[in-house]
Amino acid sequence: MDTIAAISTPTGAGAIGIVRMSGEQALCIALRFFTCSTIKSPEDVVPGMLKLGTFFDGSVREKCMMVYFRAPKSYTGEDIVEFHVHGGTYLAERVLGALLAAGAKLAGPGEFTRRAFFAGKLSLDEAEGVRAMISAESEAELREAYSLMSGRFDQKINALMTKLTEVLSTMEASLDYPEEMADEADDSMEKAAEVREEMRALVESFKAGKLIKGGITVAIVGKTNVGKSSLLNRLLGYSRAIVSDIHGTTRDIVGESILHKGVKINLQDTAGLRETGDVVEHIGIERSLAAAKGADVVLYVMEAGGNLDEEEWANIRACSKKVILVNNKIDIYGATERGFNISAKTGEGVDVLLDEILRVTVGDSRAAETLTEERHADCVRRALRSLEEGIAAFHEANTECVLVDLRESIDALAEIGGGTATERIINDIFSRFCVGK
């Protein structure tokens, strides 16, 4: 296989730029440019040790560090050399250019991790965990990504596969000796039913997992002047949206994200709902309703002192996934008996409201394994469907079908770790990585 090279750090000025090379020729190519007093030949290079030396490409000199990881004890399983040069786009590109001129090939997106996968260093879902770690924007996302990358999720899937494989072998045996194996077959179907429950829980966990990954979208809707923009500003901690006592101040959607207890929340402040002759405001109100429809949670805000507009409240409830009734301005009107009581002005009750948003969406997803990747959810859904069909076939005494369904279920699970994943799936996953990873 070719020796590949790429810049692994982001472009732009920074303290350090890392140029990475992987493949059989890595060390040989590196030592054409790198010199240091203790290295006279490739044998002198101690794996895993950073060495300070000089990189010289014939015209430009750079004082930098080099580190060597000897195959198979490296990220890719191949020989890896990294140059840690002074940060700066031109310098790193210059170093990379020298390596390419000496025979290395430019690495494609995710090619290092792809090689690691083919070398058996990590499973496909662990590789996806690496990508998820890189793109994580919240603590909760990081936690789930780490669970993927570190193989905890993989272990869970493997455990399910092991159980199903045991069920499968019992069922295969019972095909030949149906009478003698009747009890064993019953027992193993009970085991299959347990696996089914675990799969159902996993599929269910994707609802929360998806929100953890993309953030919870929260639309703040309600009549004009009830304090929606004030609530947005209070949640953000700065004055983002214009607040005034003039009705119809907000006419467009104002979106910003916050973190609450490590979970990302995407807030959308919207135009207040009212009858209006103003064309632009009217468009704004339509957008408010569309935002309510698209949101994971709607905060329907009203004044604590006002009367609930039953018709509007019913409309909002009908078009939204989840709605929380929020009574604002309790600093003036005092708390009410209905919904949540807050004051956007003083901040009272706002944290409790944020907790409620988490409770009704991600709940306590920390307790169990959570699906966060659409691809994994799809595999588990297919595995579950096949297993359900297998269990049904068993009750119809159709053992042949049971075997086919069980095998399909196991195959669908194996796709998660990459065992039965097609080339297309694998290519698709790595193409979404950055170059140099």
User: C-beta of 310: minimal distance to ligand GDP in Å?
Assistant: 19
User: C-beta of 298: minimal distance to ligand GDP in Å?
Assistant: 14
Distance CA 298, CA 316 (A): 8
DSSP labels, 96-115:
HHHHHHTT-EE--BTHHHHH
In the DSSP assignment, the letter for residue 42 is G
User: C-beta of 254: minimal distance to Mg ion in Å?
Assistant: 8
In this structure, are residues 244 and 286 in contact, taking their beta carbons and an 8 Å threshold? no
In this structure, are residues 164 and 409 in contact, taking their beta carbons and an 8 Å threshold? yes
**Which 55-94 residues touch Mg ion, going by CB under 5 A?**
none
In this structure, are residues 185 and 169 in contact, taking their beta carbons and an 8 Å threshold? no
In this structure, are residues 292 and 313 in contact, taking their beta carbons and an 8 Å threshold? no
50: partner contacted, choices Mg ion, ligand GDP, none (Cβ within 5-8 A by kind):
none
Q: Which is nearer to ligand GDP, 113 or 230 (CB)?
A: 230
User: C-beta of 238: minimal distance to ligand GDP in Å?
Assistant: 14
DSSP H helices, 302-434, are 310-319, 330-333, 350-361, 374-395, 399-417, 423-431
In the DSSP assignment, the letter for residue 38 is T
The answer to whether residue 221 forms part of the interface with ligand GDP (CB under 6 A) is: no
The answer to whether residue 245 forms part of the interface with ligand GDP (CB under 6 A) is: yes
Task: Of 434, 4, 370, give the one whose Cα is nearest residue 211.
Answer: 370
Site string for ligand GDP, 260-299 (x = CB under 6 A): ------------x---------------------------
In this structure, are residues 312 and 319 in contact, taking their beta carbons and an 8 Å threshold? no
186 to each of 107, 170, 403, 406, how far by Cα in Å? 53, 10, 14, 15
Among 22, 113, 174, 225, binds ligand GDP (CB under 6 A): 225
Q: Which is nearer to ligand GDP, 293 or 345 (CB)?
A: 345
User: C-beta of 345: minimal distance to Mg ion in Å?
Assistant: 14
The answer to whether residue 131 forms part of the interface with ligand GDP (CB under 6 A) is: no
Among 322, 345, 385, 407, binds ligand GDP (CB under 6 A): 345
* 242: Cβ contacts below 8 Å, ≥ 6 apart: 229, 249, 250
Site string for Mg ion, 238-257 (x = CB under 5 A): ------------x-------
Q: Which is nearer to ligand GDP, 76 or 230 (CB)?
A: 230
The answer to whether residue 229 forms part of the interface with Mg ion (CB under 5 A) is: yes
Q: Which is nearer to ligand GDP, 228 or 264 (CB)?
A: 228
In this structure, are residues 19 and 85 in contact, taking their beta carbons and an 8 Å threshold? yes
Site string for Mg ion, 267-296 (x = CB under 5 A): ------------------------------
User: C-beta of 250: minimal distance to ligand GDP in Å?
Assistant: 5
The answer to whether residue 226 forms part of the interface with ligand GDP (CB under 6 A) is: yes
**Half-sphere exposure for 383 (CA within 13 Å, toward CB):** 32
285 to each of 219, 268, 271, 303, 324, how far by Cα in Å? 13, 13, 6, 19, 19
- Identify the helix (H) or strand (E) that includes residue 267: strand 263-269
Site string for Mg ion, 169-208 (x = CB under 5 A): ----------------------------------------
**Tokens 């790193």 map to which residue?**
92
Of the candidate spans 191-199, 200-208, 221-229, 308-316, the one that interacts with Mg ion by CB under 5 A turns out to be: 221-229
The answer to whether residue 344 forms part of the interface with ligand GDP (CB under 6 A) is: yes
Q: Which residue is nearest to ligand GDP (CB)?
A: 227
The answer to whether residue 352 forms part of the interface with ligand GDP (CB under 6 A) is: no
Distance from first CA to last CA of the chain, Å, rounded?
A: 18
Interface with ligand GDP (CB under 6 A), residue total: 20
By the criterion CB under 5 A, which residues form the site for Mg ion? 228-229, 250
By the criterion CB under 6 A, which residues form the site for ligand GDP? 224-230, 243-245, 249-250, 272, 328-329, 331-332, 343-345
